[in-house]
Structure 1
Amino acid sequence: MSHIELLKDCGLKATPQRLCVLKVLGKHTHPTIDELYDDIKQDYPSISLATVYKNLNTLIEQGLVVEVSIPNQKSKFDIYEYPHIHVVCEKCGFVRDFDAKEFAIQECHQSIERAVGNIVKKLNIVATVPDCEHCR
């Protein structure tokens, strides 16, 4: 699904700023807000950090973007195009995506829905590991 379609499905206008945020996050590099801002400034040199924050928060509220919290480090962000798990290295902060289909996530999702008696719109799983192949 294109970024324009993702925005329209959530009832949001496809503004250049929102599209740029989604384009950067669509690379699945899991940038911090500073890295995201630096990347966006390459295409939009006059954009302010406040504008990036505002658009990022709107996209998070609509479920198009997830915030990946990392202990003792800045949060990172990722587009939510498909259900996936974030595995975070506590040592270096590297974030790796795993497709939810590789695990029994759908069963977990359904179990949670039964337990709470409601629909779970989005299941965001973050697993942490003490170190990874990038920092060993």
Structure 2
Amino acid sequence: MVAEVRSNSALVAHAGKSLATGNRDLADRTEQQAANLEQTAASVHELSSTVQQNAKTAGDSDQQAAQVRDVAESGAQSMGRAVESVEGIQKSAQQMNEIIGVIDSLAFQTNILALNAAVEAARAG
């Protein structure tokens, strides 16, 4: 009976040692998994931060694009007004050319009349 108790004690001791070794291995693996999980959480946090920064940058870019669009529209309106002004100036210049043509024609006719008057005065005189 003592031998049987000793044998069972040895088996229990061996099982206890095996259980302790298994528990240590499990604890080591659990610790390693916890470290890996912590590293993964840090990576996810960093990725989240990067995504938020990208979203902010995209928002800023959108605002700048809207400002550029507004400036371009304003420039297009200014260009339209400038074109209208140039067209008005061209129309006025054309009218001035017509008036100058009439004045030149009158001056030519006046010179001819003056020449005729001079010829008639020379004949009479």
- The interval holding the TM-score normalised by the smaller chain is under 0.3
- TM score, norm. by length of structure 2: 0.16
- TM score, norm. by length of structure 1: 0.15
Q: Which has the higher helix share?
A: 2
Q: Which has the higher strand share?
A: 1
